Amino acid sequence: MMIRPEIKEAVFKKFMTRVNLKYSAAMYQWRYNYCENADKAQLIDNLDTISHHFLKSVNISRKPLPDTIEEGKISFDFEKRYHTCIDGKETINKRPWNIHSFWSLGMADPFPDESTMMDTDNQYVGPDKFNMSKLVYPKSRFTKEHTPMIIYIPSREMMIKIMRASMGCQRIEDLWFNMP
């Protein structure tokens, strides 16, 4: 099934907006923790602003339309054959450059009941604001010598979910993250 170009573009824009907000938070955390001459109060204010924008649209209960869920169904054999499930924390640790879950971007997982592994080192779900001590990226991404590199590549498992959640959508309003 083909996914309409405007649907692809809307998903990409939403995804990258969330990625960029999270990266901004990571940069403020890095500067706070590693830049000696940084204005700590200003960085905290900046992180609060990013946190506000990140959290104001978090609704992890959103899901695709029933028709999209039906069109996006895959069998357990398909999952097993094409390795569409994250098979454990080791996989996440081996690929810290990937985004492994929608939760890590504060987005609803369109298929939350499927067998997946929560990316607990790189997640954000909850009402609490970001702070300087709870890092938004895995600790391995923070070193004094280098600013954190942006994490924007979805894992294969997540990419398949994005494609499935976009199938059959005729309008941008029908995408799972736009559902009430």
pLDDT in tens, 35-68: 999 999 999 999 999 888 777 766 767 878 888 8
Q: How many domains does the chain have?
A: 1
Residue in 23, 79, 62 with CA at minimum distance from that of residue 46:
23
Using CA atoms, how far apart are residues 174 and 62, in angstroms rounded to an integer? 11
Q: Which domain holds residue 24?
A: 5-178
Average pLDDT over residues 10-23: 94
CB 148 within 8 A of CB 26: yes
The two tokens of residue 141 are 């991404």
Residue 27 has pLDDT above 50, yes or no: yes
- pTM given for the model: 0.81
In tens, the pLDDT along 114-125 reads 655 444 544 454
Q: Which two tokens mark 178?
A: 């736009």
